Structure 1
Amino acid sequence: MTRAGSMRPRVCALIVLGAVLEPGATALAARADEVNDYPTAARSEYVFGCLKANGETRQAIDQCSCSIDVIASLLPYDRYVTAETVLSMAQVRGNLGGQFRSSEQANSALNDLRRAQAEAEVRCF
């Protein structure tokens, strides 16, 4: 059987499955988009940093991947970006960094991220 010939049954099965699932598939895809609003690059960056902090083992990959999934389920991506920006800018010396260290909005965003990280720690590690 040629490669194209062996693919036909699979393609037909997917088309039939898609036709059967179509009514609910749209709602499922919408929910998946809501939960998975973190870009792949942001998830990867988090996992790489987490791996560095927790040892670069297979178990750490699973735990770190779980961790960002939990955080993404609890914290909208725009709030995550705000907290990450605050963490980064708070390291800047002088007046600019001081504004990020003392702002009530910055502290609120950081607290949200820390709560999500704590929950991820409980669930994944």
Structure 2
Amino acid sequence: MIPRCRALAMLAALALISPLSFGAPAQGHDYPTEGRVEYVLSCMDDNGHDFVNVYKCSCAIDKIAQVLNYDDYVEQSTFSKYATLGGEGGAEFRVDRAKAQTKKFRDLQRDAFKACGIVQRTSTGK
């Protein structure tokens, strides 16, 4: 029997590359599979490891990919992730540009979550 985490990772990867998951893939920017899987696993960490969240979190990254190219996604999601980092190390993430990028990403992610039926269980600053 495959451990649960490994099985979830495999399901997430299959959901991201399988045309059967939600019909034809939405048009948008091409993200590396690893980036999509990392997003889905992180999303599931925050919102529950229920099987349905494989699909909901895959939907969310698809919605984000329709709007942002991969480089902008990496930049905005990084600023968002570290926006609450304290001390000198976090200073780079508190400048005006970083705050603007964080807001853009959080607004986009909130809209993607809403469109995909994800109700956040926790507030993680992502």
TM range (shorter): 0.5 to 0.7
Residues 123, 97 of structure 1: alpha-carbon distance in 2 compared, 3 angstrom cutoff: same
The SS at the match of 1:35 is coil
Any stretches of 5+ residues in structure 2 without a counterpart? 1-24, 118-126
Structure 1 stretches of at least 4 aligned residues deviating more than 3 Å after TM superposition: 87-93
> What is aligned with 1:111?
103
Secondary structure of 1:37's partner? coil
SS, match of residue 103 in structure 2: helix
What is the alpha-carbon root mean square deviation over aligned residues?
2.0
TM-score for both structures, normalised by structure 2: 0.63
Is 1:64 aligned with 2:57? yes
Q: Offset of 1:91 from its aligned partner?
A: 5.0
Query: CA–CA distance in 2 between the matches of 1:115 and 1:36?
Result: 19
Structure 2 distance, partners of 1:67, 1:59, is 13
Confirm whether residue 77 of structure 1 aligns to residue 70 of structure 2.
yes
1:39 and 2:32 correspond:
yes
Structure 1 stretches lacking a partner, 5+ long:
1-31
Larger Rg: 1
Cα deviations by residue, 1:54-97 (Å, 9 ceiling, x for unpaired): 21122111100001000111222211111222234445442231
